[in-house]
Each structure stands twice: as C-alpha cells, then as structure tokens.
Structure 1
Amino acid sequence: MAQWSLDLAQYILELVDDDWRTFDVIQDGFAVNELWQKEKARMHVVRQAAFKIHRSAKKVRMR
C-alpha cells in the first residue's frame, strides 16, 4: 500500500508540477517512506517527514 501511494503521488505530481523533483522536502519524504518499507526507518522519522511535507503543502495552498 505504501509503494502504491508513492507511485500515485509521483503520478499526480507529474500532472500538476513537472519540476516537483526540485523540492527537497518531497524527495526526503519519498526516501523516508522507501526506507520505512524496508524496515530501515523508525516511525518517528516517518512522522517527522510527513509533518515537514504537510507544512510545505500548507504554504503552497495559502499562495
């Protein structure tokens, strides 16, 4: 399910913003998710990455 959600997020990002790969917070979030799937990241690290992405999304939405 986690891999599917990453694939879906990447697909959607490609549709709405073709330079999304330049955002470090998104790249970091994807990397943490992939590590978590391999049981190489603790849940705390995953949550912190999610919080960073959420803060960034709120900033973009407010523009």
Structure 2
Amino acid sequence: MASKVQELETRVARLERELRDVKAQIKAGEQVPWYEQIVGVFKGDADYAEITRLGRAIRRADRRRSR
C-alpha cells in the first residue's frame, strides 16, 4: 500500500511540474500578439508565393464576373 501511495505522489509531483511548465509557456506566449509571431514565416517560400498568386488570380476573376 505504501508503494502505491509513493507512486501516486511521484506521479502527482510530475504532473504539477508539467502543468507549471505549460502555464509558463502560455504566459510567455501571451506577451507577443499572435499575428506578430507569424509575420515573415513564409518569406521566400515558393509554394506560399504560388498560393498567393493563385489567390489573387481567383479574386481578380471573381471581381470581373461581378461587374
């Protein structure tokens, strides 16, 4: 029985440390707005440039059709 209690105490202590770490990460992440964290992520990415080009083409075509 004592070993079960010790095992549970160990597990709870580990969970408390992990929870403390997660809370610290969340708090640190809140200091910078999310949109500032992702600015420049796709810079120089050829696939993203192609997606952007195709998106512009679709929007341009939609505008022409709506006139």
Per the TM superposition, whether the score is higher than 0.5 is no
Q: Which has the larger radius of gyration?
A: 2
With the length of structure 1 as denominator, give the TM-score of the two structures. 0.34
